Amino acid sequence: MKTWRVSSTNPSTESLREAAAALKAGNLVAFPTETVYGLGANALNEAAVRRIFAAKGRPADNPLIVHIADPSELAQVVADLNAVPPAVHLAIATFWPGPLTLILPAHPNLAPAVHPGMATVGVRMPSHPVAQQLIRLAGCPVAAPSANKSGKPSPTTASDVLEDMAEELAEGDGVVDGGACEVGVESTVIAVEGNRVVIYRPGGISKEQLQDALGLPVVLDPHLEQSLTSRSVEASFAPRSPGMKYRHYAPNAKVHVWWGNRDKVRQRMEEFAHAHGQEEMALITESPISNCPPNAHCWSALGEPSPSGDSQAKDYPVKDYQAKAQPVSTYPRILSRELYGLLRKFDRLRVTHILVEGVEPTGLGLAVMNRLSKASEGRMEKV
């Protein structure tokens, strides 16, 4: 297993040639995207794609997203491109490259394991320069789920990938280290059904952004509505995106989320920390807590090196996910970028509970709260 370290903004062909050749030849290569790290395999190679499932411990019925480097490559992965509705083309023109996955009819050349038992395939063109260059050099569509063990938080750095995958990756496989991911939660998964857009998984492109751009009603898959509003999701109620039915994004620690009135959120956290005085915990909040409880590690978004600028923005600006020029300054965006890394960090510290100040479930906040609802198994309360 190899690690290739590359520039995140301007990766040279030379630095990626070997990784791309490994990918093309049927090995597993993990790589950064603007959302999270993916565990990639040649999407036309059945044996390679099956190895993804083995490495992740992924349920066999959960389909993979196929990544391409240019919209012109769609014809290789989608059947009957001419029949695709205009709203899909508009979504591609508006949001690609970027964190939007489209569910489309699958091309027969794709390895069957990419979309087990389904006639459709999820496709996206990532905006991360390393992902684009790697796929281009490999010269094949790349199937890539998030590069974590099934059920664990997705990796947002190469060392997160190695934490989960070092033992699974063999000779010939490798990890491309292109630094930390900017968006931090996965892509939005959508399908255009009749004259509406259905969100199967909220992510880096918000419902509001889709509504503005596509001029069609945008609805959430009913399973998602339910998982955000009730404690337990009925097992019999099948979500449209198979991946959403599994326990997910979950650290070993128990996650608890409060959101709404800031003072009340703080009060609940302090009460909880006090009532569980014998246990070690972590607190994740927007601004620093003045009296961090003695049994807690306190992390705050605004307590870290001070961000500045656009205090209103909640969404990622379209096609600007690298966003270096746009300081990431709002709590939903910082939480989105940092959440998975924090869950992993506090697991390494072996805390028993992770208490999180949540956000309004609008804009990017919907994706963050969806992941938190999974990570907390429904331990969420609006106060």
Chain residues in the site for ligand TXA (CB under 6 A): 33, 35-36, 38, 62-65, 99, 101, 103, 115, 118, 120-122, 144-146, 186-187, 189, 200-201, 240-244
Of 146 and 336, CB closest to Mg ion: 146
Of 56 and 268, CB closest to Mg ion: 56
Give the amino acid at 6: V
**Minimum distance, C-beta of residue 319 to Mg ion, in the bound complex (Å):** 23
**Minimum distance, C-beta of residue 187 to ligand TXA, in the bound complex (Å):** 3
Distance CA 91, CA 70 (A): 14
300 in Cβ contact with 332 (< 8 Å) = no
Closest CA to 162 of 322, 30, 320, 317: 30
The one of Mg ion, ligand TXA, none whose footprint includes residue 118, by CB under 5 to 8 A per kind, is ligand TXA
Angle at 26 between CA 20 and CA 32, to 5 degrees: 45
**Minimum distance, C-beta of residue 267 to ligand TXA, in the bound complex (Å):** 35
Of 38 and 153, CB closest to ligand TXA: 38
The one of Mg ion, ligand TXA, none whose footprint includes residue 33, by CB under 5 to 8 A per kind, is ligand TXA
> Which residues is 381 bridged to in the sheet?
258
Distance CA 68, CA 74 (A): 7
**Minimum distance, C-beta of residue 288 to ligand TXA, in the bound complex (Å):** 31
Of 81 and 118, CB closest to ligand TXA: 118
Contact letters for Mg ion, residues 131-150 (x by CB under 5 A): ---------------x----
**Minimum distance, C-beta of residue 67 to ligand TXA, in the bound complex (Å):** 6
- Beta-carbon contacts of 86 under 8 Å, excluding residues fewer than 6 positions away, are none
Query: Residue of minimal CB distance from Mg ion?
Result: 146
**Minimum distance, C-beta of residue 373 to ligand TXA, in the bound complex (Å):** 15
Q: Give 326: exposed, middle or buried? Use CB within 10 Å, 0-12, 13-18, 19+.
A: middle
Q: What are the structure tokens assigned to 90, written together? A: 């508009």
Q: What are the structure tokens assigned to 296, written together? A: 């807690």
DSSP secondary structure letter of residue 204: S
Of 240 and 256, CB closest to ligand TXA: 240
Distance CA 5, CA 13 (A): 12
Of 143 and 273, CB closest to ligand TXA: 143
**Minimum distance, C-beta of residue 64 to ligand TXA, in the bound complex (Å):** 5
Task: Please tell me whether residue 156 binds Mg ion under the rule CB under 5 A.
Answer: no
Three-state DSSP state, 380? strand
> In which residue are the tokens 């969806």 written?
370
Contact letters for Mg ion, residues 326-355 (x by CB under 5 A): ------------------------------
**DSSP-derived secondary structure for 224-258:** HHHHHHSSS--TTS--SSGGGGS--S--SSEEEEE
Closest CA to 54 of 157, 173, 156, 138: 173
**Minimum distance, C-beta of residue 33 to Mg ion, in the bound complex (Å):** 12
Of 242 and 307, CB closest to Mg ion: 242
Of 35 and 285, CB closest to ligand TXA: 35
Three-state DSSP state, 373? helix
Q: Which of residues 261-320 bind Mg ion (CB under 5 A)?
A: none
Of the CA atoms within 13 Å of residue 381, those in its CB half-sphere come to: 12
Of 233 and 269, CB closest to ligand TXA: 233
The one of Mg ion, ligand TXA, none whose footprint includes residue 69, by CB under 5 to 8 A per kind, is none
**Minimum distance, C-beta of residue 161 to ligand TXA, in the bound complex (Å):** 11
- The count of other CB atoms within 10 Å of the CB of residue 170 is 12
Which residues in this chain contact Mg ion in the complex, by CB under 5 A? 146
